[in-house]
């Protein structure tokens, strides 16, 4: 059977949305045939233990070069147009291991811009799939590399044109990618969760507990947190004074508990399912970013009503008012939260779970990759 090699410049620990996407891809690919994860260890991090249950997965850590060899790789990536930060993450050794593991007939998938930079030369010799975490130039501002967002856009255009196929996480980014590189082969490969392994929440406790779960080191999530604390929750409390806000995820500020007694700042938690089980609804108040938020999909799979902005839902094929509740300003989000606390919230939660099973499950992803 044909082997697929997924090359990534970091260990997929599961702690970030990007690494969760990699883990889901590996799980789906494992159902289709032998698969190799080639990754560059960083600061001693190890791949998620979830990967141990994949029967056809081979894991290959790659030691990157140092000194002059590393400088040559960086220089080549920069000459090809890779922005500074992504060029620094490029590893010639990662490309070499990917080619060796795939053999002459295997399939290679480059995860993200740094892996794409490392495999640009390989793309001239054999087909390589570029897996985008997001279409970065679609939402990023200036980069500190002198090239700015225009430089990033040029590099993404090069990858889209040179890759045999590009996988992006949302229909919106399919359109953006085709606009950026007309004629490129672009496939919608959504972010998913293992819906079958996620227990539904119910019955809800009626505690009027709202949850915002996110990686707060990610700039769009930091912006959402500030908006949530400064404007959205005051609007919620004007309607429901007893509502409680639970915050989880790494990178939370230290003083949030002192800001208001109705805020529970939990930080990174090992047992997030228990936090979902104690919640009445989930907030996804994003104003920036691309792709499809995995915590949104996770909440849908829990059968919890999700309250989200149009921006947060833009990467998902969902119906506002049926699969989730939508608001585009603090008052609208607060009104949606009040609705979520009532019987409508149960209906929306059940519809969201069905949508997750249909479109954002591991089974759905497997069928997409089977046809890719």
Residue 228 to residue 287: CA distance in whole angstroms: 11
Question: Residues 163, 200: one domain?
Answer: no
Identify the bridge partners of residue 193 per DSSP, sorted by sequence position: 361
| Domain final residue pick, 189, 211, 228 | 189
Question: Taking CA 55 as the corner, what is the angle to CA 52 and CA 57, rounded to the nearest 5 degrees?
Answer: 75
Q: What is the tens place of the pLDDT at every residue in 111-120? A: 999 999 999 9
Q: Predicted confidence band at 277 (pLDDT cuts at 50, 70, 90)?
A: very high
Q: What is the tens place of the pLDDT at every residue in 187-210? A: 999 999 999 999 999 777 788 999
Q: What pLDDT is attached to residue 80?
A: 85
Q: What is the tens place of the pLDDT at every residue in 46-77? A: 999 999 999 999 999 999 888 887 888 889 88
Q: What pLDDT is attached to residue 149?
A: 67
Q: Predicted confidence band at 138 (pLDDT cuts at 50, 70, 90)?
A: low
Q: Predicted confidence band at 30 (pLDDT cuts at 50, 70, 90)?
A: very high
CATH number at residue 276: 3.40.50.2000
Residue 232 confidence (pLDDT) above 50: yes
Residue 143 confidence (pLDDT) above 50: no
CB atoms within 10 A of CB 281: 26
Do the beta carbons of residue 129 and residue 165 sit within 8 Å?
yes
For residue 371, being part of any structural domain is answered with no
Find the DSSP H helices in 80-199.
Answer: 84-88, 92-102, 112-118, 120-123, 148-162, 171-180
Q: What pLDDT is attached to residue 257?
A: 76
| Domain final residue pick, 139, 173, 189 | 189
Question: Residues 314, 185: one domain?
Answer: no
Question: Residues 285, 323: one domain?
Answer: yes
Q: Predicted confidence band at 96 (pLDDT cuts at 50, 70, 90)?
A: very high
Question: Residues 49, 171: one domain?
Answer: yes
């Amino acid at each position: 059977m044909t082997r697929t090699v997924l090359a990534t410049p970091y260990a997929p620990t599961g702690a970030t949305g990007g690494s969760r996407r990699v883990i889901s891809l590996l799980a789906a690919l494992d159902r289709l045939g032998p698969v190799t994860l080639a990754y560059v260890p960083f600061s001693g991090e190890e791949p998620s233990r979830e990967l141990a249950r994949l029967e056809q997965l081979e894991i290959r850590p790659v030691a990157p070069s140092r000194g002059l060899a590393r400088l040559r790789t960086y220089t080549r990536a920069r000459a090809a147009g890779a922005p500074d930060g992504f060029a620094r993450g490029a590893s010639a050794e990662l490309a070499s291991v990917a080619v060796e593991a795939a053999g002459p007939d295997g399939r290679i998938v480059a995860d993200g811009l740094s892996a794409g930079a490392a495999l640009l030369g390989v793309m001239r010799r054999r087909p390589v799939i570029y897996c985008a975490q997001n279409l970065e130039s679609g939402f990023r501002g200036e980069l500190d590399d002198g090239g700015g967002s225009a430089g990033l856009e040029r590099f993404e255009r090069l990858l889209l044109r040179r890759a045999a196929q590009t996988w992006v996480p949302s229909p919106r980014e399919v359109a953006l990618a085709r606009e950026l590189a007309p004629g490129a082969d672009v496939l919608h490969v959504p972010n998913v969760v293992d819906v079958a392994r996620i227990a539904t929440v119910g019955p809800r406790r009626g505690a009027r507990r709202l949850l915002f779960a996110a990686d707060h080191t990610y700039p769009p999530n930091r912006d959402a947190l500030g908006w949530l604390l400064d404007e959205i929750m005051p609007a919620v409390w004007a309607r429901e004074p007893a509502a409680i806000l639970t915050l989880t995820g790494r990178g939370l500020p230290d003083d949030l508990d002192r800001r208001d007694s109705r805020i529970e700042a939990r930080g990174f938690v090992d047992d997030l399912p228990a936090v979902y089980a104690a919640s009445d609804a989930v907030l996804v108040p994003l104003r920036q970013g691309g792709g499809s938020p995995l915590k949104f999909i996770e909440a849908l799979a829990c059968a919890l009503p999700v309250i989200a902005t149009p921006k947060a839902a833009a990467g998902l094929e969902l119906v506002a008012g049926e699969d989730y509740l939508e608001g585009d300003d603090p008052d609208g989000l607060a009104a949606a939260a009040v609705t979520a606390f009532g019987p409508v919230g149960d209906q929306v939660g059940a519809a969201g779970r069905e949508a997750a099973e249909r479109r954002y499950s591991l089974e759905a992803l497997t069928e997409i990759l089977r046809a890719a």
